Amino acid sequence: MPETLFINARIATMADPSGLGLLDNSGLLVHGDTIAWVGPMADCPDSDDAQIIDCGSRLITPGLIDCHTHLVYGGDRADEFEQRLEGLSYSEIAKRGGGIRSTVAATREASEAELLKQAQPRLQQLLDEGVTTVEIKSGYGLDSQNEIKMLRVARQLEEEYSVRVMKTFLGAHALPEEYTDNAEDYISLVCDEMLPQAHAEGLVDAVDVFIESIAFDLPQAQRVFEVAKSLGLPIKAHVEQLSDIGGAMLASEFDALSVDHIEYLAAEDVCGLADKNTVAVLLPGAFYVLRETQLPPINALRAQAVPIAIASDANPGSSPLHSILLTMNMACTLFSLTPNEALRGVTINAAKALGLESSHGSLETGKQADIVIWNLHKPSLLAYQIGINPCAGVMRAGQWRKPFKVSVV
Among 4, 103, 220, 258, binds ligand NIG (CB under 6 A): 103
Site for ligand NIG in 357-396 (CB under 6 A): none
SS3 154: helix
Tell me the closest approach of the beta carbon of residue 318 to ligand NIG, in angstroms. 4
The number of angstroms, rounded, from the C-alpha of 271 to the middle of its chain's C-alpha atoms is 23
Instruction: Rule CB under 6 A: say whether 27 interacts with ligand NIG.
Output: no
- How far is Cα 312 from Cα 127, in angstroms, rounded to an integer? 13
Stretch that binds ligand NIG, among 31-39, 152-160, 308-316, 355-363 (CB under 6 A): 308-316
- How far is Cα 320 from Cα 363, in angstroms, rounded to an integer? 30
* Residue whose C-alpha is closest to residue 382's, from 334, 335, 340, 320: 340
Report the DSSP pairing between strands 371-374 and 308-310. unpaired
Residue 209, amino acid: V
Site for Fe ion in 180-239 (CB under 5 A): none
Site for Fe ion in 128-157 (CB under 5 A): none
Q: Which of ligand NIG, Fe ion, none binds 339 (CB below 5-8 Å, type-dependent)?
A: none
Site for ligand NIG in 176-215 (CB under 6 A): 210
Tell me the closest approach of the beta carbon of residue 119 to ligand NIG, in angstroms. 14
Residue 230: count other Cβ atoms within 10 Å of its Cβ.
Answer: 10
Q: Which of Fe ion, ligand NIG, none binds 210 (CB below 5-8 Å, type-dependent)?
A: ligand NIG
Instruction: Rule CB under 5 A: say whether 313 interacts with Fe ion.
Output: yes
Q: Which of ligand NIG, Fe ion, none binds 220 (CB below 5-8 Å, type-dependent)?
A: none
CB 80 within 8 A of CB 99: yes
- How far is Cα 135 from Cα 225, in angstroms, rounded to an integer? 19
- How far is Cα 135 from Cα 118, in angstroms, rounded to an integer? 17
Q: Which of ligand NIG, Fe ion, none binds 100 (CB below 5-8 Å, type-dependent)?
A: ligand NIG
Instruction: Rule CB under 6 A: say whether 100 interacts with ligand NIG.
Output: yes
Residue 392, amino acid: A
Q: Which is nearer to Fe ion, 66 or 313 (CB)?
A: 313
CB 280 within 8 A of CB 352: no
What angle, 0 to 180 degrees and rounded to 10, lies between the N-to-C axes of helices 144-160 and 100-109? 70
Binding site for Fe ion (CB under 5 A): 313
Interacting residues toward ligand NIG by CB under 6 A: 70, 99-100, 103, 210, 238, 241, 286, 313, 315-319
